[in-house]
Structure 1
Amino acid sequence: MTRPITLPFYAKLAFILVTLICFAFIFCTGKNIITPVLLAFLFAVLLLPIFSFFNEKLKLPRHLAAIVCLIIFLSFIVGILIFISYQVTYMANDFETIKKNANAFIIEIHKFIRENFQVSIGDQKKYLDSVTQDSVKTGQAKLGSFIISVSDVLFDSMIIVVYTFLFLIYKEHFKLFLAKLIKRENHSVLMDILSQIKVSINNYIVSLIIEMIVVSVLTSLGLWIIGIKYFILLGLITGILNLIPYIGITIAGIITILASLTGSGETSVILGILIVNIIVQFIDNNLLVPLIINSKVEINAFVSIMGIIVGGAAAGISGMFLAIPLLAILKIIFDRIESLAPWGYLMGNHVPRKFTWRKRKVATEN
């Protein structure tokens, strides 16, 4: 029987760093291929209970059960998009009102700058004209890249649906592949890891949906109180964009401010919108995220923020969305492998008592 090789700490650390660098290089190089696969994997795990119901309970063939699951999933998404597009079309009828109130709001800003910073309105308009001309030139240059980006999004959406379908029908095939990679005595650990990954991802995505609904309701209620016309639509958009860390709520605030111009361009209304967004974000960050999100994935805030930043730098918005579930999967794997358990503990949100170092007793010779 061969004895396991024991390496010093610095050698283990070097292997870990090299492995992380290799994974990061592979992901950054092939992010356009890997990101749709990971998104499809998350959606497939979310749809597994529905797939099992149709396949095992109702005895539908595997392919038919997967198709039904995708139809339900896509119908839900398309329904939300149709509602939003209908409301946006209805709001477009108020374009002239928006334009009028926007001009009034801009005039108020010009007056505020003139009174407080002693910059004449003429100088302000000259500066805005120069910026506008540069923006038009830049926009014309980027129009082609924007069209290419839209086509890429449509292609990625179609390929994600295909990948999700394949993940569902080849679920057992992938499990058997993983079982063949490891020794038979470790199969129980593998099954425990897979079951925990399924539970963790399901809990995380369901928690995101609950958070989206709560944020949408709170935002809609706040906008209704201050008298915003399209409060339901804007609340729903805020809830959806809130799923994008950091930048989502900023985009939602800008959209809400623009939509508020359908009523009036008063500064007090815009100030009320900002107050509503701040209050909702305070509730979200201090109540919803700790109680709903962090309690499900069990990852501390430091690792979460670092993961979101790294994911955004590597793969944009998709990387930011994938960061938390991927970290949760890594933590599940680390917790169940003895040599990697310290890294799983580092990622966790446990708050230990004060740690005291134990001194080693040194034996003295008489």
Structure 2
Amino acid sequence: MHAPTQVKQPPVVYFTLFLVGLSLLVFVLHKLDDLFLPLIYAILLSLLLMPIVTRLEKWRWPRMLSIATAILLVVIGIALLFGFFGSQIIGLRSELPLIQSKLVVLFDQTQQQLAQRFHFQPMSHEQVIDSSLAALQKQSSKYLGSTLNTTLGVLSTVTLVPIYIFCFLYYRDHLRQFMFRFVEADKRTTVLHTVDNIQHVVQGYMTGLLTVIVVVSVMNAVGLLALGVKYAIFFAVFASVLAVIPYIGIIVGSIIPALITYVETGSLTHGLAVIGVFMVVQFISDNILAPLITASKVSLNPLTAIIALILGAQLWGTPGMILSVPLSAVIKVVLDANRVTEPWGFLLGDVGDGETTQKDPSDDRGFVAKLWDQVRGKRPPLAPEPKLPPMRNPRHAAVKS
């Protein structure tokens, strides 16, 4: 009896199989978005709530009560946020007729100026409204169907996510034991270290993101209040929450208050100043606050973030855009844990990840000192070089022997 000889396939075959498997994975993820989106949100929120649950359990709280308390805190926070938005939107809605009348006047004035300069027949606002209504009637069924689908999707996600969070946190020990059954005993330490790194990265990103949202909201509110913008606090918080979507959320969040300010004041400079406030705050957030507060927990280069953003939007729309950065960070941690895939993790990482030196872990300077170094562009102190033992002379060792 002879063992069968192993046929070595050319690299093209393995590459083709990889592309086929990747295409099937993307197809399944896209078709089963109603299943995977609530699960992914629940996993991220479970990792975020894990420290609170473990702290309550250390205080001898029952596990079910600890998990219920953590979920209740999240629900209360979201309810307060939606209550604040609802009250501000109701107040803004009462001024919509006045804003609409001013917008019509500005529209007519702008058309008259453009008509005199470029010599064309201006349209009346009645014609614009009639053409808009006609286009809206043609697309009403499409918009109605998409709105109903979105509403049902949001309701199902809101209902399922707390249930998934409770199950993940309650059965977390059981899930870990299930995962270890696929791993050999001598490799369980490495797997446990990788899982802890993923949890650390996600927790650092989520807590840092919430901190950045609060700080950016305060800075936006100060700038808008200085310009005398109506509902400045609402627009400040609204733009900060939309900043969760990288590179796009801040643009959407700044257009609405800029347009309302332009309609209210009739000054284009005033409207552009509102956009300038958001751009300056976003620049400070991206280049100073986010790297300092999150402490580079999610160390992704900008190219990776942009590509992940586009892929997330194509796969799952707006929810995919929100999940693109944390999921990319998790993928980077998994790639870094394996020597074979470590170069791909290095490719996704920031430039600083390629340095052989590390930050000094004993650096206990305060937040202000670190912020000042970040503003000046000064690099943080590096860890001291390890002291190597003196090399023995081989001749002396031979004589001694």
TM-score, normalised by the number of residues in structure 2: 0.79
Which residue number corresponds to residue 194 of structure 1?
195
Residue correspondences, number = 349
Asked if 1 retains the 8 angstrom alpha-carbon contact of 2:313 and 2:320, the reply is yes
Distance 1:282 1:111, change over 3 A: farther
Which residue number corresponds to residue 17 of structure 1?
19
Give 1:225's aligned amino acid.
A
Asked if 1 retains the 8 angstrom alpha-carbon contact of 2:235 and 2:257, the reply is yes
Which residue number corresponds to residue 51 of structure 2?
49
Which residue number corresponds to residue 207 of structure 1?
208
Tell me the SS of whatever aligns to 1:60.
coil
Could you list the per-position Cα deviations for residues 15-39 of structure 1 after superposition, in whole angstroms to 9, with x for gaps in the alignment? 5434433322221121221111001
Asked if 2 retains the 8 angstrom alpha-carbon contact of 1:95 and 1:262, the reply is no
Task: Tell which structure's C-alpha radius of gyration is larger.
Answer: 2
Aligned counterparts, 1:189-338, within 5 A: 189-260=190-261, 263-292=264-293, 295-338=296-339
Structure 1 stretches of 5 or more lacking a match? 354-366
Aligned residues: percent identity?
Answer: 26
Between the aligned partners of 1:123 and 1:229, the Cα distance in structure 2 is 29
Asked if 2 retains the 8 angstrom alpha-carbon contact of 1:219 and 1:276, the reply is yes
Q: Which has the higher helix share?
A: 1
Aligned counterparts, 1:117-156, within 5 A: 117-122=118-123, 126=127, 129-139=130-140, 141-156=142-157
Give 2:61's aligned amino acid.
L
Distance 1:117 1:291, change over 3 A: farther
Tell me the SS of whatever aligns to 1:295.
coil
Tell me the SS of whatever aligns to 2:61.
coil
Which residue number corresponds to residue 362 of structure 1?
none
Which residue number corresponds to residue 32 of structure 2?
30
Tell me the SS of whatever aligns to 1:244.
coil
- Where relative contact order (Cα < 8 A, 6+ residues apart) is larger, the structure is 1
Between the aligned partners of 1:124 and 1:93, the Cα distance in structure 2 is 22
Could you list the per-position Cα deviations for residues 94-147 of structure 1 after superposition, in whole angstroms to 9, with x for gaps in the alignment? 233322322232223223322333223237864663244212432354224313
Asked if 2 retains the 8 angstrom alpha-carbon contact of 1:307 and 1:327, the reply is yes
Could you list the per-position Cα deviations for residues 52-98 of structure 1 after superposition, in whole angstroms to 9, with x for gaps in the alignment? 1122x222222221111100111111111111111222233323332
Tell me the SS of whatever aligns to 2:143.
helix
Asked if 1 retains the 8 angstrom alpha-carbon contact of 2:212 and 2:293, the reply is yes
Between the aligned partners of 2:90 and 2:262, the Cα distance in structure 1 is 16
Structure 2 stretches of 5 or more lacking a match? 356-401
Between the aligned partners of 1:76 and 1:83, the Cα distance in structure 2 is 11
Between the aligned partners of 1:115 and 1:217, the Cα distance in structure 2 is 44
Between the aligned partners of 1:248 and 1:331, the Cα distance in structure 2 is 24
Distance 1:294 1:115, change over 3 A: farther
Segment of structure 1 superposing worse, 301-310 or 253-262:
253-262
TM-score, normalised by the number of residues in structure 1: 0.86
Between the aligned partners of 2:14 and 2:210, the Cα distance in structure 1 is 40
